């Protein structure tokens, strides 16, 4: 029986469809296998845009850094496998997530090889205090952008090196697997979460079978010391000042600008609290403006006046953008202004000793720890500044509350209904006033940003009560 023309066409169409499907499946298998194999053989495969320009493995370059009196180099990790972590400004890494991942990798290395994993994090800017205090397995070292650019160039990260050297943000986050002999066995740019499994495989391989010792790396030109560089500026009164004017004084340095509606008011408020906790007349507090075109001496003088009674130890400094950039880099801090973008700067306080070297860098939120490092026992004596008016002035409360764009006005506040963010309304009674001082983020007034620092732990119960009494008198 001869099939009809219609039946023949249907069978032919099915045959073509089956062959086409089989071909597509075969191509898919080949592509998936190629991607899988590429990532297994090289964690950076397919990520040329990330900027790695060295073939694995390669000998680790000589790396060393010095911050104040402490130093760290790659030799400190000799004899064990370890991870070198580079965080470029802007990568936005969640340290808890990174720690969990590396903790899992360390457990895998330990289970497979019996070896303990070292970990060195090099970062522009600081990490949380908990990250800096994680035992011997991890070392966290701040690098200035120029030093990080040198390290990146040695490791073959050409694009990231150029960005760091030019003071621009580079939102990348690299990990390098180093074996006990000093060979870089694996690398992964994990900002997007790619290549993690392949990277941990390389870690295990590096721990299980280190390569023969490579040739000795050349010594670095110099181990950089973070310090205050020479500068010329003018203060809020228009007087010319230079780094020499502060020689022999311990310094606390921050970076702000007066038009800032973000972190700057909180940084300045915390600096006011720190100045009060450290009455030592030898200490100087320097606030560099990162907006020199706007922040002229008269503008800086008006800004300082908003923050309470004059403190001759606090100087607000204006200098050209190149000078501010050089000062920030010397201290290991970030100051950048991408073309057409917002001003970016760290929220740290940097502690510089009398010889000009950086001794500590920490987020401005760590006021108590910074005060303890500056002057043991320098906190106000019990009962000191019991007057609410004096406390209000010395803490610079008017710096924000006198500006309706930054904080709600305080006149006539007690007893009034207050609408909070989220829609809840509360009465401004004594309890609310106390909580708004000790835990301000729990009671943010509707329409305002949570820019007020917490004074819980910084003020005694008596001092909080004095402030509440003063607020009720306004």
Residue-wise pLDDT for 263-306, tens only, equals 888 888 889 889 888 888 889 999 999 998 899 999 999 999 88
| Confidence tier at 41 by pLDDT (50, 70, 90) | very low
CA–CA gap between residue 77 and residue 57 (Å, rounded): 18
The predicted model gives 190-208 an average pLDDT of 79
Helix (H) or strand (E) holding 214: none
pLDDT of the residue at 309? 67
What residues does 225 pair with on adjacent strands?
A: 66
| Confidence tier at 359 by pLDDT (50, 70, 90) | confident
CA–CA gap between residue 284 and residue 356 (Å, rounded): 12
3-class state of residue 280 by DSSP = coil
What residues does 177 pair with on adjacent strands?
A: 83, 186
CA–CA gap between residue 298 and residue 300 (Å, rounded): 5
Number of residues assigned to the chain: 474
CA–CA gap between residue 435 and residue 296 (Å, rounded): 37
The architecture of the domain spanning 381-474 is: Orthogonal Bundle (1.10)
194 φ, ψ to 5°? -90, 150
| Confidence check: pLDDT of 4 > 50 | yes
Residue-wise pLDDT for 370-395, tens only, equals 888 776 433 333 333 347 777 676 67
**DSSP secondary structure of 184-205:** EEEEEE-TT-TTHHHHHHHHHH
CA–CA gap between residue 98 and residue 100 (Å, rounded): 5
Helix (H) or strand (E) holding 317: strand 314-318
Delimit the CATH 3.40.30.10 region(s) of the chain: 48-208, 226-379
- At the fourth CATH level, the homologous superfamily of domain 226-379 is Glutaredoxin (3.40.30.10)
Which residue blocks in 210-296 are alpha helix, DSSP H?
A: 264-277
Most confidently modeled range among 193-202, 268-277, 458-467: 268-277
| Confidence check: pLDDT of 234 > 90 | yes
pLDDT of the residue at 88? 78
CA–CA gap between residue 465 and residue 454 (Å, rounded): 15
Delimit the CATH 1.10.760.10 region(s) of the chain: 381-474
- What does the mean pLDDT of the chain come to? 76
- Tell whether omega for the bond before 57 is within 30 degrees of 0, i.e. cis: yes
Kindly report the CATH number that applies to the domain delimited by 48-208. Answer: 3.40.30.10
């Amino acid at each position: 029986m001869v099939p009809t023309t219609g039946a023949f066409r249907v069978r032919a169409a099915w045959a073509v469809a089956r062959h086409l499907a089989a071909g597509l499946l075969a191509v898919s298998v080949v592509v998936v296998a190629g991607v899988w194999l590429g990532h297994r053989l090289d964690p950076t495969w397919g990520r040329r845009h990330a900027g790695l320009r060295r073939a694995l493995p390669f000998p680790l370059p000589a790396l060393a850094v010095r911050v104040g009196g402490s130093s760290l180099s790659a030799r400190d990790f000799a004899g064990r496998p370890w991870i070198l972590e580079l965080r470029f400004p802007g990568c936005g890494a969640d340290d808890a997530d990174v720690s969990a991942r590396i903790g899992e990798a360390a457990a895998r290395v330990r289970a497979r090889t019996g070896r303990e994993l070292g970990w060195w994090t090099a970062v522009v800017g600081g990490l949380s205090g908990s990250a800096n205090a994680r035992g011997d397995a991890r070392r966290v070292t701040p690098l200035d952008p120029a030093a990080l650019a040198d390290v990146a160039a040695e490791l073959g990260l050409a694009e990231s090196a150029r960005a760091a050297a030019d003071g621009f943000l580079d939102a990348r986050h690299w990990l390098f697997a180093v074996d006990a002999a000093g060979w870089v066995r694996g690398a992964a740019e994990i900002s997007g979460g790619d290549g993690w499994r392949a990277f941990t495989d390389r870690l295990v391989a590096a721990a299980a079978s280190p390569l023969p010792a490579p040739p000795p790396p050349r010594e670095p030109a110099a181990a950089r010391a973070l310090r205050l560089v020479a500068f010329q500026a003018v203060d809020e009164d228009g007087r010319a000042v230079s780094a020499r004017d502060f020689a022999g004084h311990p310094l606390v340095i921050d970076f702000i600008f007066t038009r800032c509606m973000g972190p700057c008011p909180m940084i300045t408020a915390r600096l006011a609290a720190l100045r009060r906790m450290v009455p030592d007349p030898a200490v100087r507090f320097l606030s560099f403006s990162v907006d020199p075109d706007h922040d002229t001496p008269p503008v800086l003088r008006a800004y300082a006046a908003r923050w309470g009674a004059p403190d001759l130890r606090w100087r607000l400094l204006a200098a050209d953008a190149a000078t501010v950039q050089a000062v920030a880099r010397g201290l290991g801090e970030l100051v950048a202004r991408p073309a057409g973008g917002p001003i970016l700067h760290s929220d740290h306080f940097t502690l510089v000793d009398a010889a000009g070297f950086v001794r500590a860098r920490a987020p401005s939120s760590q006021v108590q720890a910074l005060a303890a490092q500056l002057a043991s026992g320098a906190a106000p004596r019990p009962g000191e500044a019991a007057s609410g008016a004096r406390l209000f002035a010395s803490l610079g409360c008017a710096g924000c509350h006198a500006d309706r764009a930054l904080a709600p006005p305080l006149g006539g506040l007690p007893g009034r209904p207050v609408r909070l963010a989220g829609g809840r309304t509360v009465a401004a009674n004594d309890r609310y006033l106390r909580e708004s001082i000790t835990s301000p983020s729990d009671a943010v007034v509707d329409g305002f940003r949570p820019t007020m620092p917490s004074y819980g732990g910084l003020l005694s119960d008596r001092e909080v009560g004095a402030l509440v009494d003063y607020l009720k008198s306004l």
